[in-house]
């Protein structure tokens, strides 16, 4: 059975019988986890083992685990610095900032892979313009070139651990104050203004990203639809101009920024038609059956191949992660930053 275009969530720390049935649906291709799905490392490993064992090829398991305030798993995981703290260190010492970015990417990816999680929706490639509270210190920096440089190091760390990176939120969420979880933000800039600022990290990093997630933001001077529902942004800019060949994920279709596209099934149809490979349906279990029914008969072989390449590969094989030299060194770098700043980071 091939992997379908829908990524779903689950309610608790173990699969319910109805969730097992949903995961077997041919249109389902992945599972996204949240803090509610975690109570311990051993429990998480059991949950991911169960999810992976339910299908062949295994479903892709994802989480948003960036560091700072967006880190879904805590106990037994290394607390990761927010990207903005990495940018602040870069301003003081560029070499130290690059090293911290790479170390954070490696530790994040290694610990997740060790627990059976295939991908993290990271890093954030937005520019910190001081306008968006929902982005804020999730962004590396206010300079697009510095964002690209630090994100490249972060991605290299993830790759060294065996995980592909997903950049977000294309083409840039940092220029609007609105939170797309609660409303549809509107960015009134012209394309040329976005191209020379927010698009810069995506243009630099498109060749090394496994995935990109567009923003639920409307850019009315550029296209009539929010970016995640826009053929112009996804097909013309991302695929043709930036030559991106990885997976395009929708952001969560239950967010307020997506509701203008209709009910959940209509949102999924619109996102896939615009160019998304995989759509996320989170926190709306009652709407999932209708979404799956609305996509009946949908098939995209090229997208299925891209999705199948997302499975993580732990670089240390079957040995204990914490005996890996690169992990030990990366943790030491994080610890040095923590001591300097007073953060409680430890491996």
Q: Which residues are catalytic?
A: 181, 251
Distance CA 338, CA 239 (A): 39
**What SS3 string covers 154-178?**
HHHHHHHHCCCEEEEEECCCCCCCC
Reference 140, options 100, 82, 180, 185; nearest CA is 82
How many other C-beta atoms can be found within 10 angstroms of the C-beta atom of residue 256?
Answer: 15
Please say whether the dihedral angle defined by the alpha carbons of residues 183, 206, 105 and 54, taken in this order, is positive or negative: positive
Residues 334, 209, 57, 32: is their CA dihedral positive or negative? Answer: positive
Token pair, residue 219, equals: 């850019």
- Whether 158 contacts 210, CB under 8 Å: no
Residue 275: CA atoms inside 13 Å, Cβ hemisphere, count? 24
Token match 């954070």: residue? 104
State how far the Cα of 236 lies from the Cα of 201, in Å rounded to an integer: 17
- Angle, alpha carbons 116-86-339 (nearest 5°): 90
Task: Give first-to-last CA distance, the chain, whole Å.
Answer: 39
Q: Measure the CA angle with vertex 292, ends 287 and 295; round to 5°.
A: 125
Cis peptide before 169 (omega within 30 of 0): yes
Edge to edge, what strands does the sheet with 247-252 contain? Answer: 119-120, 60-63, 28-33, 6-9, 278-281, 247-252, 211-214, 166-170
Separation of alpha carbons 274 and 14, rounded Å: 34
């Amino acid at each position: 059975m091939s992997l379908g275009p829908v990524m779903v969530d689950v309610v608790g720390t173990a699969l319910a019988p109805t969730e097992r049935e949903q995961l077997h649906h041919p249109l389902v291709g992945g599972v996204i986890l949240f803090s509610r799905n975690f109570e311990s490392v051993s429990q998480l490993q059991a949950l991911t083992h169960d999810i992976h064992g339910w299908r062949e090829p295994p479903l892709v398991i994802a989480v948003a685990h960036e560091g700072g305030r967006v880190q879904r798993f805590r106990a037994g995981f290394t607390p990761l610095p927010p990207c903005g703290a990495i940018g602040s260190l870069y301003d003081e010492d560029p070499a130290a900032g690059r090293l911290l970015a790479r170390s954070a990417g490696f530790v994040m990816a290694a610990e997740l892979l060790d627990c059976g999680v295939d991908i993290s929706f990271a890093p954030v490639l937005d520019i910190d313009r001081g306008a968006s509270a929902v982005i804020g210190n999730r962004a590396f920096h206010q300079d697009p070139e510095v964002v690209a440089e630090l994100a490249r190091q972060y991605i290299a760390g993830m790759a060294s651990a065996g995980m592909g990176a997903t950049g977000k939120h294309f083409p840039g969420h940092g220029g609007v104050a609105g939170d797309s979880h609660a409303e549809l933000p509107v960015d009134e800039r012209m394309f040329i203004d976005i191209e020379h600022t927010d698009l810069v990290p995506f243009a630099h990093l498109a060749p090394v990203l496994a995935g990109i997630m567009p923003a639920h933001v409307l850019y009315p001077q550029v296209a009539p639809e929010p970016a995640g529902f826009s053929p112009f942004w996804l097909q013309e800019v991302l695929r043709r101009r930036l030559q991106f060949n990885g997976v395009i994920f929708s952001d969560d279709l239950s967010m307020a920024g997506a509701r203008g596209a209709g009910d959940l099934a209509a949102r999924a149809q619109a996102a896939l038609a615009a160019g998304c490979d995989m759509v996320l349906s989170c926190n709306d279990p009652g709407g999932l059956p209708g979404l799956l029914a609305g996509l009946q008969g949908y098939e995209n072989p090229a997208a299925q191949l891209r999705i199948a390449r997302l499975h993580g590969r732990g670089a240390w094989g079957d040995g204990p992660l914490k005996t890996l030299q690169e992990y030990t060194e990366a943790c030491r770098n994080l610890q040095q930053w923590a001591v300097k700043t007073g953060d409680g980071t430890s491996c």
